[in-house]
Structure formats: structure tokens, C-alpha cells
Structure 1
Amino acid sequence: MQHTALDVSAAPVFNITRGTIAGASASLVGIGLARFAYTPLLPAIIDAHWFAASTAAYLGAANLGGYLAGALLGGYLAKRANAATVLRTMMLLATIAFAACAFPLSFMWFFVWRFASGLAGGTLMVLAAPTVLGHVPPSRRGLVSGAIFAGIGLGIVASGTLVPLLLREGVTQTWLGLGAIALLLTFAAWNGWPKQDAHVSHKQHATHAPRSGFTLRALYAEYALNAIGLVPHMLFLVDFVSRGLGKGLDAGAQYWVLFGLGAIAGPLVSGHLADRAGFGPALRAAFVIQIAAVALPLISTDPVSLIASSVLMGAAVPGIVALALGRVNELLAHHPAAQKGAWSTATTAFAVLQAGGAYGMSFLFTHNGGDYGMLFTIGAAALALALTVDLFAALRGNRENV
């Protein structure tokens, strides 16, 4: 999600409501379903003997690797192709990937299609919101942005409620059902995208980007570290509850729904907090809350602790994106032409450490006897380091301003 400077008055008439629906549908399909539906499906795939537990975890990480590729590809395509065409193509690719995953022909087949779904999600994440927001008046961008990000939470809730119902018919039928939902959402978004690419008008305002200051580089590091902190819940929450705690798939799916409800509210609450306190303090508060949420399962696994952990980390998934994007724009307020490139860098850094964290934790999980506690410990440590970097950058910035 990149900020794009655009002369709105020069753009064709654009239906903001339809554009918002298109953006929310893209985030719902590309992230909410293509990535997060795999989490409640993971125990069922293992129980159905499609893949061993260790192999299934790596397949989950394949999606994050694809997300990194999509984040890089999205920036490239934004400069060379019509955004609406790219967005439609990627939503179709995610839909096809769902159908392909209904048939576990081999590990490599499944890996390729999970990677493809991640690639579609990464590209949609980079292009969907800026394509829409570039045609929205500044006074309405906060509301529209929150609605688009909330699509991620809607997808998580949908995966947590629909997947258990679909699994009653079988794992294959579940993948096909998710593909049908993705296809409907693709059609719903088809004509909602702006006819004029935001990057066309953006070129008219292009200037040389300023050198990245220490605070901005620190933000890249913080945002990337935050990606590691999200991995334990994103990949292992349902499996932890259902198999690790022995509560069963239905209980695991219930906590995933709570995770999704948090993700719906996250961007709205984060934006409200940032409006009152500023993006810097709001981001700092988000780090503290996430540290507590990731550490909670290490302290207690009673229902209250698990509910709080699920909701808070769910809110952090889209909420931290909104805060980081706002912080980038805040730091480069006097250099709007540089905001797009800075957000692309931040998104890539996030994707790199998220994919690396997923692969690394999957490797550790398979070689330490399935120790979930170590995963949450790593996540909390990464978030604590992010907070430390942020505090140091803030302290250094204060000293430079004295």
C-alpha cells in the first residue's frame, strides 16, 4: 500500500464506493483468504495425510515467499502496466491457485501454487490501495484506507467460519469452495478500479527523493522486525490450539475468528489513535501491545489469555501496516514524491523478514520436537527489538533537534 501523489481533479470520474469495494475485495482475496485460510486448514491437511506436519509448515511458508516476490513485482508492474489489468490478473491468479490446491498431486505442485497465491497477494497488497487512494480526496482517504485494510480481517473471519463448515465435505471441497468465493469477489471488483493509473499523474510530480534519514531507515528495520513478530500467530495459532493444546480443530478455528475480528477493527483503531497521538507514539504503543500479546501464551493458556492474544495480534496485522504507512508519509511530509519509493522499500523489508521468519520458524519447529513456546519467544523478542530501535531513533532525533 503505497501513497501516491495524484492530481485528483485531472482524473476521470471515479466512483469511490465501488473503488473501496474493489480494494477491500482485493485485500480479502489476496491476503485474507489466499494467505490466512491456510492456517485453519493446516491441521486438516495433516490429518488427511496430504502432507506430513513438517512439510505442511513449509508449504505455509511458501505463500510468504511468494508474497515477497509479489511485493517486488508489484512495484515493477506499476511503472509498466495498467494497474486495473494487473489487479484483475492477480485476483484471477489467486482464484486459480485455490482450485489447483484442491489436488495434492505432489509437494512441488502444491508448493508452486501456494507460492503463486502469495505472489498474487503481495502484488495486490502493493497496488490495490494506492490505485484507489490516489483517486480519493485527501479528506476521505483515512476512511477509505481503513475500509480497504479491513478486508484482510473480513477474509480471516471468513476463513475461520467457512473453512470448518467446508471441511465437513472434505479438504478438496474446501479448497474449491474458497476458489468459488474468490471468483465471486474478483467479479465484484472487476469494474471498480480507476480507469486511469495513478502512476501516470504521479510522474508529473516526480522529483529526486531526499536522502533517507536515520529515523526512516530505523522505521524500515522496525517494520521488518514486526513482520517476524506476527509469524507465530499467522502460521501456527490454529495448530497450536487444536493440536498443541489438544482442543481440536473447531476450537482452533474459533480463535482464528477472534484473530480476524481483531483484524477488522485494527486499522480503524490504529488510525484513530494516530489521529490523536501522532503516528510515532501510536506505532510505539502498538509494539508494546504486540509484545504483551505474543508473550501471553507463554504465561498462560487459559481461554481469557488466548482470546486477548488472538484479538490483539489480529488487530496488529493490518493495523501495523496503516501505522507504518502513516509514519512514512509523516517523515516525508515535505517530500511527497519520495513517499511512494519509501513505502515500497518498507514493504519489501517487511516481506523479506516475514518470509525468512516463516521459513526459519518452520525449520525450528520441525527440529525441536514441535515446541510452540520457542516460536512465541522468538516473536516477542523480535518485537522487543523493534521497540528498542524505535526508542533509540526517537532519542537520537530529539538530541539532533536540541
Structure 2
Amino acid sequence: MSHDDPLPSSGHVLHAALAGFSAVLVGNGLGRFAYTPLLPALISDHWFSPSAAAYLGAANLAGYLAGAVLGHAATRYIRPARLLRGMMVLTAVSLLACAERDLGFAWFFLWRFAAGYAGGVLMVVGAPIVLSTTPPRRRGLVGGMMFTGVGLGIAASGIIVPQLIEWGGLERAWVGLAAVSLLLTLLAWNGWPRDERRIDVMPPARAGLGLPVSALLAEYGLNAVGLVPHMLFLVDYVARGLGQGLEAGASDWVVFGVAAVFGPVLAGQLADRIGFRAALRLAFCAQAAAVALPVVTSASGWILVSSAVAGAFVPGISTLVLGRIHELSPGGPAQGRAWGHATTAWALAQAVAAYGYSYLFGRTDNYPLLFGIGVAAIMLALGLELAAGGSRSPQGGPRSPR
């Protein structure tokens, strides 16, 4: 694509979308979620104690927060395409480094933090760049394609990682994950948009985000709070809370992951039809109903429905929020900055909520209470969206009916 092309061709859009998908899959699907099925083996094979293994999970989350906060600023010094390639390589290297069990906790802590940092940078820098070169009518679909990588990571990690461990133990599991990450890195290498005059994501000034975007960031954080009970307690609730056993709980988690694969694309297609604002409001309603199901019923069928809907929106809500940011923000730098703040809001809200829910559960042992708080958080997000609906856009004109 030359600098004189007024619009990107369909081939360039598809290649960029594939690069964005690969980056999300590597940074979040493999660099982050693949650790969950590795955790029991790390403990049972005596690589780490349960508490140490948990701290390694926290290191990854801390790195993700750091990447979300600092990643956008890094584009001032490194061209975005080079930065994204470097972060994908860093993720692959971090996974490979974890194949060496004898270097101790500090070694693993460093590389799990690095994997989280890379994932945060890939999320805040990669997605806005891809959408910046996507025609408005295709942004819902392209955004959905990218965030499908999160769901694919959830689903695939639960299937592939146990097979890798059975095949060659934890060492080869880490090596296998690194190899897949490197392959996806090569697949995305030349897919990043090159017209950086038009795709500039480096904010020259710290302009205000405006009320509509600020409200959207708060809604996104509240949505994260609402989904944490499913992300943390779903399997335990089904297995122990309902007394159905670990196999039943694992089955619900697979449904959660499979739904997360399709959720972003379906959300994007819905937004392309009815607009991002309407789709976002509908998403809040659907999530509130889904999270409320474990509060009002313990029937297996309804819990399965709850798992599917919540799983679909773990990545699906990101498609809608990113698209809505592109509607509300005036240009590339503002859009990139807003998406960076949104990613930080999600990560921070998720971390704080996880601690709060864990503390509350330890004191009450009450699953329905946790899901009830989640419903309240999502309803608060919906109320905030409705209240902000009458405000004006950052450009000073009335907001789109979308």
C-alpha cells in the first residue's frame, strides 16, 4: 500500500486483521490464559508451591497492567509496527525461558511479568492501529476477528496444554507454546499497516478525553467487575457449590471458552447492523441476565447458558468498546490514547475485583452473593451509559444515534 492510496484495499485490511488476531492470540491467549491449565502441573510436579505458583500468576497480571499503562508511550520512541513485532517475539521468548525449571522463582517471575507486559502493549497498540486502516462499515467485523484470539486462547489452552504435558512433560509444554507463538509472530510480521503518517498513534498532547469517552471507560471497568465471578469462580461453583464434581465444572469452562471464540465476531456483526451504542446497551442487558442466572437457579441447563453468554462477552465487550471509542474520538491519536486508558481500566478493575471477591468469598462462602454483586456492577454500567447518552460528542456536535 503506497502512501498515496486514499483507502486501504480489502487485502491490506484482511492482512492487518490477521496480524491483530495473531497479536491478541499470542499476547493474551497464549501468554496469559495458557498459564491456567499449566498451574496444576506446576504444583503437582513440584516446580513451585501453590502460593509461589499463584504469585507467578499475579506477576503476569502486574505486567499486563504495566504494558497497558506504558505501551502507548513507547510508540513515541519506537515505530508501532516494530514495537508490536518486538512484543510478540518477547512473548515467545518468555514462554521458552520458562522451560528451564532449575533457575528458580525469580527467573520465572521475571518472564511471567515480561509476558504480561507484552500482552498489555499488544492490546493497547495493536488494536487501534488495525482499526485505523479499516473502513467504518467493516470495523465491527474486523474488531471481532481480532478479539477472537482471546477466546481461542481460552478454549485451545484447555485442550492443547494437557496434551503437550502428557506428550513431553512441562518442559515440552512450554517449548510447544513458544513455538506456536513464534509461528504466529511470523504470520503477522508483514501484516501491520505501514502508512504511519495516517495511523500515527503517538499523542502529541494530553487533551482531555471528554465526558462520553470517560463514561465509556468507567462502564468498561464496571463490566470487568461484573464478569470476574464467572472468570474466577465458575468451575468451583459448579464443582463444589452445586456438588456436581470437577468434570462438570470443567465442561462449563469449555463452553465458556468456545463461546469466547465466537463472541467478538458476533458482537462486531451486531454492531455493524445496529450501531455500536445500541449493541453496547444490548450487551449490558444480556450480561446482567446471564450473570444473574446463578443467583436465581442452580439448574444445569441455565448455568450452561450463563457460562456461554458470559464467555462470549469476556472478549466480545472489547469489540464493542473499541468500536464505540472510534465513534466518539476525533482522530487516531485520541482513539489510541482512549483505548489505552480503556485497557488499563479493564485490567485494574479486574485485579481489584478479583481480590475483593476472593476476600468476600473467604469470609462468607456465598457464591450467589458474588454473582449478585456482578449483576449490580453491570447494571450500574448500563445506567451510566444511559445517563451519558444525552451528552455531546468531543467534537461539539450531537452524538450519533448509533
Q: Do the two structures share a fold, i.e. TM-score over 0.5?
A: yes
- Residues 1:328 and 1:274: Cα distance change in structure 2 (over 3 Å): same
- Residues 1:317 and 1:47: Cα distance change in structure 2 (over 3 Å): same
Does residue 78 (structure 1) correspond to residue 71 (structure 2)? The answer is no
Tell whether the 8 Å contact from 2:148 to 2:262 is kept in structure 1 after alignment. Answer: yes
Tell whether the 8 Å contact from 1:157 to 1:260 is kept in structure 2 after alignment. Answer: yes
1:215-251 superposed Cα distances (whole Å, 9 cap, x missing partner):
3322121111112223233344445555666666655
- Corresponding residue for residue 341 of structure 1: 337
Does residue 267 (structure 1) correspond to residue 261 (structure 2)? The answer is no
Q: Kindly state the Cα deviation for residue 69 of structure 1 after the two structures are TM-superposed.
A: 0.9
- Corresponding residue for residue 230 of structure 2: 233
Q: Which amino acid aligns with 2:31?
A: A
- The partner residue of 2:384 within 342, 365, 389 is 389
Q: Kindly state the Cα deviation for residue 304 of structure 1 after the two structures are TM-superposed.
A: 1.5
In 1: Cα distance, 2:91 partner to 2:366 partner? 32
Q: Kindly state the Cα deviation for residue 311 of structure 1 after the two structures are TM-superposed.
A: 1.4
- Residues 1:206 and 1:126: Cα distance change in structure 2 (over 3 Å): closer
In 1: Cα distance, 2:384 partner to 2:283 partner? 14
Tell whether the 8 Å contact from 1:23 to 1:132 is kept in structure 2 after alignment. Answer: yes
- Corresponding residue for residue 164 of structure 2: 166
Q: Which structure 1 residue ranges, 5 or more long, are not aligned?
A: 1-5
Does residue 380 (structure 1) correspond to residue 379 (structure 2)? The answer is no
In 2: Cα distance, 1:138 partner to 1:39 partner? 36
Residues 185-194 or 27-36, more deviating: 185-194
- The partner residue of 2:20 within 23, 42, 54 is 23
SS at match of 2:75: helix
Q: Kindly state the Cα deviation for residue 325 of structure 1 after the two structures are TM-superposed.
A: 1.7
Q: Which structure 2 residue ranges, 5 or more long, are not aligned?
A: 393-397
1:109-158 superposed Cα distances (whole Å, 9 cap, x missing partner):
43333222111111111122233333344444433222112222222221
1:202-221 superposed Cα distances (whole Å, 9 cap, x missing partner):
45998978754433322121
Q: Which amino acid aligns with 1:21?
A: L
Does residue 32 (structure 1) correspond to residue 29 (structure 2)? The answer is yes
Q: Residues 200-279 of structure 1 correspond to what in structure 2 (within 5 A)?
A: 200-202=197-199, 211-238=208-235, 240-241=237-238, 251-279=248-276
SS at match of 2:155: helix
- Residues 1:44 and 1:230: Cα distance change in structure 2 (over 3 Å): farther
In 1: Cα distance, 2:236 partner to 2:309 partner? 18
Tell whether the 8 Å contact from 1:39 to 1:238 is kept in structure 2 after alignment. Answer: no
In 2: Cα distance, 1:37 partner to 1:348 partner? 21
Q: Kindly state the Cα deviation for residue 320 of structure 1 after the two structures are TM-superposed.
A: 0.8
In 2: Cα distance, 1:181 partner to 1:324 partner? 29
- Residues 1:306 and 1:105: Cα distance change in structure 2 (over 3 Å): farther
1:280-313 superposed Cα distances (whole Å, 9 cap, x missing partner):
2321221222222223334444432332122111
Q: Kindly state the Cα deviation for residue 28 of structure 1 after the two structures are TM-superposed.
A: 0.8
Q: Kindly state the Cα deviation for residue 32 of structure 1 after the two structures are TM-superposed.
A: 1.5
In 1: Cα distance, 2:65 partner to 2:302 partner? 32
- The partner residue of 2:325 within 323, 328, 337 is 328
- Residues 1:181 and 1:311: Cα distance change in structure 2 (over 3 Å): same
* Alignment RMSD: 3.6
SS at match of 2:76: helix
Tell whether the 8 Å contact from 1:296 to 1:309 is kept in structure 2 after alignment. Answer: yes
Does residue 95 (structure 1) correspond to residue 95 (structure 2)? The answer is no
Residues 279-288 or 247-256, more deviating: 247-256
- Residues 1:38 and 1:7: Cα distance change in structure 2 (over 3 Å): farther
- Residues 1:141 and 1:285: Cα distance change in structure 2 (over 3 Å): closer
Does residue 295 (structure 1) correspond to residue 298 (structure 2)? The answer is no
Corresponding pairs, count:
391
- Corresponding residue for residue 3 of structure 1: none
In 1: Cα distance, 2:239 partner to 2:181 partner? 26
- Residues 1:172 and 1:372: Cα distance change in structure 2 (over 3 Å): farther
In 2: Cα distance, 1:23 partner to 1:276 partner? 23
SS at match of 2:32: coil
Does residue 69 (structure 1) correspond to residue 69 (structure 2)? The answer is no
1:181-208 superposed Cα distances (whole Å, 9 cap, x missing partner):
22222222223223x263x334599897
- Corresponding residue for residue 182 of structure 1: 181
Q: Kindly state the Cα deviation for residue 364 of structure 1 after the two structures are TM-superposed.
A: 5.0
- Residues 1:208 and 1:70: Cα distance change in structure 2 (over 3 Å): closer
Q: Which amino acid aligns with 1:77?
A: A
Q: Kindly state the Cα deviation for residue 107 of structure 1 after the two structures are TM-superposed.
A: 4.4
- Residues 1:127 and 1:62: Cα distance change in structure 2 (over 3 Å): same
